[in-house]
């Protein structure tokens, strides 16, 4: 009898999962009719992997023992007719994706909520903004990066405006570092409010707890620009939430790229686009929320 687990659901756009750059070029240069004809003519030609592909493979591998821990749902602006090539490519690459929404030009983010996605990955900034406003943890995949090695799913998060609200970051933005440090010291025992990715981290934590000790293939890390004394509020917040992370790095403003490489992150979620462009390994995911994305 298979064990019943509350599975993790990830929504991914077709342009995140596969390299559709050539198809997109045809659309931009020749229009929708030429794009449709191009897709139909090439529907038996498999698409190459896109930026989310290695991560999707790793997540789906969590089901290899017969227990369904993770489901990936395809969300696409294509019509079903032009999207047949995408489904053919899914079959070619042996990805166990059975659910999809083809939106015929409309933004697919509303289906991320309809499918109860715990995470939505897109290449479109506005798509991500709308999903976040609707309460879906969402991020824009930015740039091309070297896939991480190993079989573990390794996920890294920034703190403020990602796992936590941007309440502290707003003080830093308006009043500077010293005011931020003073405020965080005074509020050290007051948990931070939840950010857009708290629920996703909680779902990962729940999934990790289903594995025997020492055998979990999912690893999480908090990689934050914070340093002492602003570390205490972070520790107490995660304790209050009942969530643990496997690794925590307080950088005190140092660049994040070498530390993400040391963690061997498959994906890194951050509210600053410059940070996710320099991930090194894995893929950068821009969380388009918080004060840094209001200007």
Residues carrying an active site annotation: 158
Picking from 90, 86, 132, 78, the residue whose alpha carbon sits closest to that of residue 109 is 132
**With contact defined as beta carbons under 8 Å apart, do 8 and 44 qualify?**
no
**With contact defined as beta carbons under 8 Å apart, do 280 and 146 qualify?**
yes
In terms of DSSP bridges, do strands 283-286 and 138-142 run parallel, antiparallel, or are they unpaired? antiparallel
**With contact defined as beta carbons under 8 Å apart, do 169 and 295 qualify?**
no
State the number of CA atoms in the 13 A half-sphere of 90 facing the CB: 24
> What does the block give as tokens for 136?
């879906």
Gap between the Cα atoms of 83 and 91, Å rounded = 13
Cα diameter, the chain: 64
**With contact defined as beta carbons under 8 Å apart, do 249 and 275 qualify?**
no
> What does the block give as tokens for 113?
């909520």
150 burial via Cβ count (<10 Å: 0-12, 13-18, 19+): exposed
Picking from 249, 234, 250, the residue whose alpha carbon sits closest to that of residue 187 is 234
Picking from 84, 103, 73, 75, the residue whose alpha carbon sits closest to that of residue 45 is 84
Residue ranges with strand state E in 34-123: 70-76, 99-102, 119-122
């Amino acid at each position: 009898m298979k064990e019943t687990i509350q599975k993790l659901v990830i929504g991914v756009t077709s342009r995140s999962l596969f390299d559709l750059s050539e198809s997109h070029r045809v659309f931009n240069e020749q229009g929708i009719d030429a794009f449709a004809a191009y897709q139909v003519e090439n529907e038996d030609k498999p698409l190459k992997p896109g930026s989310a592909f290695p991560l999707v493979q790793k997540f789906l591998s969590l089901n290899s023992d017969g227990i369904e821990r993770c489901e990936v749902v395809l969300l696409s602006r294509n019509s079903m007719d032009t999207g047949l090539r995408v489904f053919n490519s899914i079959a070619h690459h042996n990805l166990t994706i059975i659910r999809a929404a083809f939106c015929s030009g409309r933004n697919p983010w509303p289906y991320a909520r309809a499918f109860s996605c715990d995470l939505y990955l897109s290449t479109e900034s506005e798509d991500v903004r709308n999903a976040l406003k609707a309460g879906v943890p969402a991020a824009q995949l930015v740039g091309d990066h070297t896939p991480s090695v190993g079989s573990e799913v390794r996920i890294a998060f920034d703190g403020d405006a990602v796992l936590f609200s941007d309440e502290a970051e707003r003080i830093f933005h308006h009043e500077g570092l010293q005011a931020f440090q003073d405020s965080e010291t005074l509020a050290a025992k007051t948990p931070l409010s939840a950010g857009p990715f708290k629920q996703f981290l909680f779902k990962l934590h729940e999934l990790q707890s289903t594995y025997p000790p020492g055998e979990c293939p999912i690893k999480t890390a908090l990689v934050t620009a914070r340093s002492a004394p602003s570390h205490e509020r972070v520790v107490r917040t995660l304790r209050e939430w009942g969530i643990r992370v496997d690794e925590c790095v307080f950088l005190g403003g140092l660049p994040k790229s070498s530390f993400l490489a040391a963690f061997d992150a498959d994906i890194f979620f951050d509210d600053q686009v410059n940070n996710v462009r320099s991930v090194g390994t894995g893929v950068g995911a821009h969380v388009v929320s918080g004060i840094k994305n209001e200007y």
